[in-house]
Structure 1
Amino acid sequence: MNQLLPTIARTVVAAATLFAAVASAHAQGDVEAGKKKAEMCIGCHGIPGYQNSFPEIHKVPKISGQSDKYIVSALTAYKKGERKHPTMRGIAGSLTDQDMADLGAFYASHADKAAAETPKAPNEVVKALLEKGACASCHGANFSKPIDPSYPKLGGQHADYLFVALKAYTVEGNNMVGRSNGIMAGIAKQYKPSEMREIAKYLSTLDGELKTVPQSRFR
C-alpha cells in the first residue's frame, strides 16, 4: 500500500487543480442571502446534537466552519445523486448554483477559530489505519486543512456521522444509500467497519474548526 501513496497523492493534486480552474467560474456567494436561504437547513443543522435516523441513527454533521467550496461540492453531489441521502437529495435538487453558493458563504462565515497545527497523536492502531488510507494527504496533517477547499474538514466532526459517511463510500447498487467517489471508495473499502469506527472516533476528538450554530426558528 505504501507504494501506492505517491500515486494517490498525485491523483488528488491533479483533481484539486482541475477543480480550482472550474470553480473560478462558479457563482459568488452572499452571506446575507445565504442566511435567509438557510431557513430550510436550521431544522437539522441548527440544533446541537440533532440526530438523523437514515440510514442509521447518527448526528447530523456540523457544517458551520466548513469552507464554502465544500458546502457547494456536497450539495452538488446530492443534487446529482452522487450522494444518495433521500432528504438531502430532495433539498439539494431544489437549489440553484447561486443558492448553493449563498449557503456556502453563510456557513463558511461561522468560522471563528483555527485548528491546532499539530493534532493530538493517535494510538498506534489508528495511526496505521490513517497512513493506510493516506488520509492526511487530502484532509491535511491536522485534518482541518484539506489540500482543496472542496474537500471536507474532518477534525472535531461527530464520530457517528463520520462512520456513516465513510461506510457510504463502500455501498454499491443501492438507490437510497451510498456515495459515488472513486478515490474515497477505493480508500474506504480497505477498512472493516470496526476500523472505520476507530478512525471516526479519533477524528471526532480533535480540536477542529467545525461547530453547530443554533439558529432561531423565528428569525
Structure 2
Amino acid sequence: MNKLLTTMFALAVACVTVSAQAQKVTGSVENGAKKTAMCVGCHGIIGYQASFPEIHKVPMIAGQSATYISSALAAYKNGDRKHPTMRAIADSLTEQDMADLAAYYAQLGMKDQAALPATPKTPNETVQALITRDKDNSCTKCHGANFSTPNDGTVPKLAGQHADYLTVALKSYKVDGHGVVGRSNAVMGGQAKKFSNAEIKQLASYIGGLPGDVKTVPESRFHRAD
C-alpha cells in the first residue's frame, strides 16, 4: 500500500511539473508594444528624473534582457523590491503582461546596436580594488567582464546605465526592514553591505561610463525623439 501511495505521489508531482512547464509564459513583442502606456511616462523620456527615494534618473530599460525585466517586475509585485510607484504598476500587470513588456523592451533600439567590447577600459586602482574586493564573488563574476554579459538572465546588464540610478539601486540592497524602501536579494544584499555609500558611488560612476546596450528610446506617439 505504501509503495502504491509513493508511486501515485511521484506521478502527481511529475504531472504538476509538466503542467507548469507547459504553461510557461512566452512574451510577445507585438503585444508588448501595445501595453507601454504606463511605462513611457518615465522610461520613455531621455534624462527623466524620479524623486524617490532620492532624486535620480529613471533606469534605461530598452536593450535590457527580457528575463531580467520580467523578474524585476515580479519582484516589485511580490514586495521583494519596495517602491510605491513601481509596486502599484506591477500590481496591475498579469504574468503575461510582464512577459510581453519584457519582450518588447529587450529588443527596443537593438536593431543597429554595435557589438560591445569584451573587456571595458581599465578602471583606476581604487575602483579595481572595489570590483575585486571579494575575489570569490567579484562584480564581474555575475555581471560579466564588460558589465553587459550577465551569467544569468535574471542578472541585469549594468554597463552604460545611469550612475545615479545605479547608486540608489545598490544602496537599496543595504536596507532592511523598511516599509517603502529596499530590495530583498540575498546575493546583492551581502555584496552591497560590504561597501560604503561613497564606494558605491565610485563603482556606479565607473560602470555607468562604460559602453552598454541599455538606452532610452522615446516613442513617437507620446514624445518627440529630438
TM-score by length of structure 2 reads 0.84
Structure 1 residues 84-93 or 112-121, which shifts more?
Answer: 112-121
Q: Which residue of 2 aligns with 1:137?
A: 141
Segments of structure 1 that go 5 or more residues without pairing to the other structure are 1-21
For each residue in 1:117-142, what CA deviation from the matched residue of structure 2 results, as whole angstroms up to 9, or x when unmatched?
11111101000101124100000010
The answer to whether residue 159 in structure 2 is matched with residue 155 in structure 1 is yes
The answer to whether residue 80 in structure 2 is matched with residue 82 in structure 1 is yes
Q: Which residue of 2 aligns with 1:16?
A: none
Q: Which residue of 2 aligns with 1:121?
A: 122
Q: Which residue of 1 aligns with 2:44?
A: 46
The answer to whether residue 67 in structure 2 is matched with residue 66 in structure 1 is no
Which whole-Å CA distance do the structure 2 matches of 1:23 and 1:58 have between them?
Answer: 39
Which whole-Å CA distance do the structure 2 matches of 1:24 and 1:115 have between them?
Answer: 35
- Equivalent residue for 2:191, pick from 187, 192, 214: 187
Identity %: 59
RMSD, aligned CA:
1.5
Q: CA deviation at 1:218?
A: 4.2
Q: CA deviation at 1:216?
A: 3.0
Q: Which residue of 1 aligns with 2:203?
A: 199
Q: Which residue of 2 aligns with 1:146?
A: 150
TM-score by length of structure 1 reads 0.87
The answer to whether residue 29 in structure 2 is matched with residue 31 in structure 1 is yes
Which whole-Å CA distance do the structure 2 matches of 1:139 and 1:184 have between them?
Answer: 12
Which whole-Å CA distance do the structure 2 matches of 1:65 and 1:89 have between them?
Answer: 22
Q: Which residue of 1 aligns with 2:6?
A: none
For each residue in 1:72-122, what CA deviation from the matched residue of structure 2 results, as whole angstroms up to 9, or x when unmatched?
010000000000010000000111110000000000112242321111111
Which whole-Å CA distance do the structure 2 matches of 1:35 and 1:43 have between them?
Answer: 14
Q: CA deviation at 1:178?
A: 0.2
Q: CA deviation at 1:64?
A: 0.3
Which letter does structure 2 place at the counterpart of 1:65? G
Q: Which residue of 2 aligns with 1:3?
A: none
User: For the Cα contact (< 8 Å) 1:116–1:208, is it kept in 2?
Assistant: no
SS in 2 for 1:36: coil
Q: Which residue of 2 aligns with 1:5?
A: none
Which whole-Å CA distance do the structure 2 matches of 1:106 and 1:143 have between them?
Answer: 22
Which letter does structure 2 place at the counterpart of 1:162? L
Which letter does structure 2 place at the counterpart of 1:116? P
- Equivalent residue for 1:168, pick from 172, 175, 181: 172
Segments of structure 2 that go 5 or more residues without pairing to the other structure are 1-19
Which whole-Å CA distance do the structure 2 matches of 1:166 and 1:217 have between them?
Answer: 33
Q: CA deviation at 1:38?
A: 0.8
User: For the Cα contact (< 8 Å) 1:169–1:185, is it kept in 2?
Assistant: yes
Which letter does structure 1 place at the counterpart of 2:80? E
Which whole-Å CA distance do the structure 1 matches of 2:22 and 2:167 have between them?
Answer: 32
